[in-house]
A and B are shown apart, each in its own frame.
Chain A
Amino acid sequence: MKPAMIEPDERFREILDRLSSMSIEDYYNPYRMFEWPDELPEDMWWMSPTLTTTYGTDVAEELTQEQLRALSRYESINFYSLNVHGIRELLIEVTKRIHTAEFTAPSQFFHHFIGEENEHMWFFAEFCLRYGSKIYKQPRGGAETIPPHNAESLLVFARILIFEELVDHFNSKMALDKSLHDTIRQINRIHHQDESRHIAFGRELVRTLFENFRAQATSEELAQIRDYLKRYMRFSFESLFNPQVYQDAGVDKPLEVRRRLLEGSRRPEFEQQVFRKTLSFLTKNGLLDDKDLATVTTKRVAS
């Protein structure tokens, strides 16, 4: 059966029109927008200390200030690298759907979305290559839960939304952090401004897609969706704890450090901070029935 065409309600239509107008009004040339100094000072934090993976942990107590600042440099390159990979997936998925029958209604906004995301990907990659000399890879594979076959678009846009909300948590804070270099603040500020539109759009689209899915879904399929989304949130959060980053920053025993941080007492608190708005949205709209990311089942297998 072909997926039904998305029929936005009046609220969604108004939001689509408003967001498209804002994209036109706020349009800027990213290739001229930024100041790119030849190098960024190494004696500064490149990421707000409270957003680094070791903040408030016993691991941080074992490191010198110099090591912590070095870690903030590599963690920032990892963070922007995750953006590059996330945007690649997002561009592929949205491009597959633009001007198809199912996505007729949001296709006008998709043009702005694709254009802006392409530009974000450029400035994030530029930052990584200029100041980190590389883009960290994001290995994807291993056993995964099998989502219901008729939930593909719902899960694509839910993943995009989760990714954007995670990133925005960091962007919104770093945009305001006066201890960071102007270039870093500017990248985060500009991205935060554009993403506020994309997140508003994503929430409406996910809400609409989920309402259509829920109308025909079994309770088991709804449980599969919950399981999948929680696992994806955990995966996204844990991507911030890249063992290669700890190694590059000269931290001993990178895998052990990663394990200590992921199993440590700060992890649940940090994870809840990062996904506070996302979890509220997902539970309010019935995609999740609780905010506890530690409870994930692992029954189904796919290759």
Chain B
Amino acid sequence: MAQQTTASINEVKDWVLAKHTERQDIGADEDLIETRLVDSLSFVEFIFVIEQASGTEIDMDTLDLDDLRTLAAIEKRFFAG
């Protein structure tokens, strides 16, 4: 189960890395917004990737944007359990 979770969050990480070929890796606690790894133009895809990888539908009306700031936060909110 733990391995499945790692594989899933890696799909999100792979998507970010594919958009930023200048990067080799992304730290789990790196702020994706402040570093502009995710900007307003790529946000639609970002949400779609998390939904697809986690199998969870994200409710934009109740979403706390802090849950999307780092890979660690995304994993905790959408992939844990």
Listed in ascending order, the chain A residues whose CB lies under 8 Å from chain B are: 137-144, 231, 234-235, 238-239, 242-244, 254-255, 258, 298, 301, 303
**Partner among A142, A239, A258 whose Cβ is within 8 Å of the Cβ of B33:** A142
Give 8 CB contacts A-B under 8 Å. A139-B46, A140-B43, A141-B65, A141-B68, A142-B33, A142-B46, A143-B39, A238-B41
**B42 contacts A by Cβ under 8 Å:** yes
Q: How many A-B residue pairs have CB under 8 A?
A: 61
Other A-B contacts than A142-B41, A298-B39, A301-B34, 16 sampled, CB-CB below 8 A, are A139-B44, A141-B33, A141-B43, A141-B65, A141-B68, A142-B33, A142-B39, A144-B40, A231-B40, A235-B41, A239-B44, A242-B44, A255-B15, A255-B49, A298-B36, A301-B33
Q: By the criterion CB–CB under 8 Å, are A231 and B36 in contact?
A: no
The 5 closest A-B pairs by CB, nearest first: A142-B43, A143-B39, A139-B47, A142-B40, A243-B48
Q: In the complex, A301→B36 CA distance in Å? A: 7
Q: In the complex, A254→B33 CA distance in Å? A: 24
Count of interface residues, chain B, beta-carbon cutoff 8 Å: 20
* A248 CB, nearest partner CB in chain B, Å: 12
B48's closest neighbor in chain A, by CB?
A243
Listed in ascending order, the chain B residues whose CB lies under 8 Å from chain A are: 15, 33-34, 36, 38-49, 58, 60, 65, 68
* A279 CB, nearest partner CB in chain B, Å: 18
A142's closest neighbor in chain B, by CB?
B43
